[in-house]
Amino acid sequence: MAKGKQGPLIIRPITEADYDALYQCAIESGHGFTSLPVDEELLRRRISRAQRAFVASSIKQPGEEGYLFVMEDTSDGSIAGVSGIEAAVGLSEAFYHYHLGKVVHHSPKHGVYNALETLTLCNDYTGVSELCTLFLREKYRKGRNGRALSKFRLLFMTEFKKRFSTNVFAEMRGVSDENGRSPFWDWLERHFFTMDFPRADYLTGIGDKTFVAELMPRFPIYVNMLDKAAQEVVGKVHPNTLPALKLLQSEGLRFRNYVDIFDGGPTVEGELSQLRTVRNSCLRTVKTGVPQDPENYLLCNQQLENFRACQGNVSVQDDEVIVDVETAAALQVSNGDQIRIAPL
């Protein structure tokens, strides 16, 4: 864990008291971060929805729950970042993607063969769990903080696996400029819409998605019909999102030809049980003390409403994990309790 002036960074369920910090994260996240629109009503709804999910103890299968967490700097109580999970998307509102496919135009008689890429509107991720809303404030983008803020979700999903689907996906922010203009959306706007990218992105973020079904082209789009700027960003990520993409790829999530309908950014997916952090995680019994030859691990308790996670330097001995008193207190565990751990 972090030492010196910065206290331990603890990941915990969001509360109403975190609203101001969440709003600031929404401002700092910038254009294209659909799940964090600068909208007070929506952000407060997300907090309330998350709180309901964390106290719902009888859930046996994934539903419309949304889990939202914050990373707290315990030295001063400030919020370092935010991270979320959607248990199952598209159950009551359609969840759209484009599938990048191919069609072949072939005339043997005339010696013509053309394999052309197409974009087809689909709802293929309906019912699948989504990793979402990952944002780390600039001050804390150091060490392994970003890695911890992303990967802990896999420990949470493993610990409470009945609440999530067997597969998981994550949308990566696509290419847009400093003013929020997306080359991909610019083409769609010219031909099918009369609203700019920030407006469309905002409407989706606040849950107003009816315009997608009403205005989006219903037939496959030939990629070679897009202008060159739009073609070049299909399946590409925003430069600020590249580290997050590489992290998820290191877990085993892969691009399977699904892209965002607004900015063309890629979606990555995988089977939860086969992701690296999940496969390498295990339960160990807590023993407080001074770790000998410690290694850096991701740690979480087994509580739902009082979930806590952090990174810590610990030593693993047989069925025990040796943690210092500070780390045990941060996780709200004592000697004899079990925690889930995974190498970080």
- Residues annotated catalytic, as ranges: 238
Tokens found for residue 316: 């693993």
Nearest Cα residue to 87 out of 176, 8, 156, 172: 156
Q: Is 111 exposed, middle or buried (0-12, 13-18, 19+ CB in 10 A)?
A: exposed
User: What's the rounded Cα separation, in Å, for the pair 227 and 183?
Assistant: 9
Quick check: helix, strand or coil at residue 280? helix
Q: What is the DSSP letter of 154?
A: H
> Could you write out the DSSP letters of every residue in 195-244?
S-HHHHHHHHHTT--HHHHHHS-SSPEEGGGS-HHHHHHTTPPPGGGHHH
User: What's the rounded Cα separation, in Å, for the pair 311 and 111?
Assistant: 61
Q: What are phi and psi of 215, to 5 degrees?
A: -115, -25
First to last CA, the chain: 12
Its sign, for the CA torsion 62, 331, 44, 259, is negative
Cα-only R_g, the chain: 22
**Inter-axis angle of helices 242-251 and 145-159, to 10 degrees?**
40
Nearest Cα residue to 81 out of 134, 155, 14, 154: 134
